[in-house]
Structure 1
């Protein structure tokens, strides 16, 4: 298992990104935390420094803004302050659920910018620094939606399919250079104020479909340290994914169309 002395985590102010940042700090990694909400990052940084005595750099940035994305990419490429692990966690979700024709186009383009262009740019920047060093790791946070049709979330599922495919391919390209590249593909994860009651503010589904975000973070970091290309947390989600690959595609489409319509 490979360990990392430093990590840059995007989307670190909440959700899985926050859990990943805490877990990396607990392992002794110095952090660079990135998100739009600088005040939340400062709170996180102060708490982490007190708890684990690691260095935490705060980098407030909106990754859909070209200049701010460039700032983060430059930080990854800085030879004086090497980043050993990149966690591309920032992303735009599928809420609110609507058919593509009913979504504002600028909203969907924003998803592409954040879910596709930003991790592509940062993955490239990280590889440019890690491959010559022959050491490093990249964890891209995708979704099980990238493997499955998601009516009323078409752009989200498509962007996650891109990220999953990109990561699996880069895994093959980079592993011979000592760089571990892993894609995390969770299902529904408890987060936010509704986490204790099994959901989010906007979604209520049976308890068994929800994953614990701390467990997701643990599995993800173990996967990238072990050099695994894909991490799908939860036995139930792994079974769904296996079944979707066996069943005829037309049957899968009909099943998920009914599921998301409800």
Structure 2
């Protein structure tokens, strides 16, 4: 067990999908606060773009805004193409989910301009999936996943080009990280080695449940498994790396827990690990 008093656990507004896209950002912040999270990672849904265009700020309290995230549209399109090519049996479900995501996000042009303004006003980093998208931002973070288009060494070189402003985002879910390794043709058995090598360049960690084994570890609060060990490795770094919790809505339907219940279990799991 690794206790850190300075540990900062935030909640991604993706966890409140699809409500977050239409509710005031202050509502999302209050949900996070009530469930014991210190801050919020904000995705630019309709309410975010509208608030910023109208008031040049968000209704969410400034101290609770830790980072912003790109719109997911390009990422979701790539995910759909990948899943459709891999398994035609999930075609209708994937296409439907993609359509739902498109319906709760403004256009990429609108979200791009909004994110640039938010970065300037709040001096908060913006997390991207695609390396080429980072060029127009002052404090870009790049999430390590199959679509980022860079090898582990290329990621390190990119951060070292501007180490104060740039950083990586690692997802502790083995599924997402394994997909990155597959794309890079790296043996999955080396996943912990590669993960550890990228930690010194990491400025944000995402906690998303990727499979039933990880879900069982969280529900039972079993911190001795792979998920707990990975979180423990993150918490042992000398620098405090903020952890952002992401709740996948289909997971809620599968286990019958509310957002409140699962978010609290995730928060407790991270603190105990």
Q: Same fold (TM over 0.5)?
A: no
Instruction: Tell me: higher relative CO, structure 1 or 2? Use CA pairs within 8 A at least 6 residues apart.
Output: 2
> Could you state the TM-score of these two structures normalised by the residue count of structure 2?
0.36
